[in-house]
Amino acid sequence: MKFAYYPGCSLETSGKEYDLSTRAVSKHLGIELTEVPDWSCCGATAGHSTSHLLALALPARNLALAEELGLDVTAPCAACYQRLALACHELNQNPQLREKVNEITGRPFHGKIKVISILEVISSVGLERIRAQVVKPLKGLKIAAYYGCLLVRPRAIQIDDPENPQVIEQIMQATGADTVDWSHKTECCGASLAVSNEEVAIPMVSRILNAAALSGANCLVCACPLCHFNLDMRQLKVNRLRGTNYHLPVFYFTQLLGFAMGLNPQDLSLHTHFVDTGQVLKLVG
């Protein structure tokens, strides 16, 4: 399996665990990722809040670059995935608009490739094959799978059911871990407001942690660097500001998958989180 790989800005810095673990796991599973050469930012929320045309043109440049590679493109970051997939969808629906956007980017995109989330790429390997690679079953982990918003909404790009998605649970169960049923797996964590209005984001993070703790989970698993940073870094703040005592490490699904497959923990960057991961991982042994 070969894909064009669009890491996106966060994966170079605050979300580096996701980049490292995605590359390591993909390699192990025989998925060949070729980084989109000279990629640029997708525009994220700032883009679509400012200009509809800009929100199409910024991803379109990257779609064109991926298309030049002749490969379908995957983006681990949920925000990048959503922006690239929505732009691809809209440009394919509306040839006139595509022409206009191509004129703006100066790099024609012809709609010949698809945008696929890394969750879909990895689950397409097949659960049986994933199970066969597990050397360290994740017994002892009770996982609250957290999807957030951007992988499951809106309908045109959703990778799974928007109210009760299961794809992360399926992959995690294949590693031998337990998953919990819980209420907040697709509730927004408020990451897009966390810098500008942290006092609004804190209760949103708090509600998610509370629901995860109530469900009996001992960790969270996500697939978005913005959710990750928000739930990991702000968990300490929630505890400080609200007098709670949550200790719920937040993993990328790729980190735990790699860990179960026996990859080197250093290569999965399990030591760079804000909430320490050691205690929970000791349960696995």
Partner 1 sequence: MEPIKLNESEDRDFIDRVCRESRQAVENCYQCGKCTAGCPVAFACDLMPHQVMRMVQLGLKEEVLRCQCIWLCASCVTCTARCPRNIDVAMVMDTLRIMARRKGINPPGRGRNAALFNTNFLGSIQKYGRLFEFATMAMFNLKTGQPFREANTGLTMLRRGKLKLSVTKPRGLEEINRIFEKVRQAEKEV
Residue 131 touching partner 1 (CB under 8 A): no
For partner 1, give the closer residue by CB, 61 or 98: 61
For partner 1, give the closer residue by CB, 17 or 29: 17
Residue 187 touching partner 1 (CB under 8 A): yes
Query: How are beta strands 73-75 and 178-179 bridged, if at all?
Result: unpaired
For partner 1, give the closer residue by CB, 128 or 163: 163
From edge to edge, which strands make up the β-sheet containing 32-35?
A: 32-35, 2-5, 73-75, 115-117
Residue 266 touching partner 1 (CB under 8 A): no
Query: In the window 135-174, what residues touch partner 1 (CB under 8 A)?
Result: 148-150, 152-155, 162-163
Residue 206 touching partner 1 (CB under 8 A): no
Q: What sections of the chain are H helices per DSSP? A: 16-28, 44-50, 52-69, 78-93, 95-105, 118-123, 127-133, 167-174, 198-214, 225-242, 253-260, 278-282
For partner 1, give the closer residue by CB, 132 or 214: 214
Q: What would the DSSP string read from start to end of 230-285?
A: HHHHHHHHHHHHH-------EEEHHHHHHHHTT--GGGGTTTS-SS--HHHHHTT-
Query: In the window 223-262, what residues touch partner 1 (CB under 8 A)?
Result: 233
Q: Which residues bind partner 1 (CB under 8 A)?
A: 9-10, 12-14, 16, 38-41, 43-54, 57-58, 61, 100, 103-107, 148-150, 152-155, 162-163, 186-188, 190-193, 195-197, 200, 203-204, 233, 271-272, 274
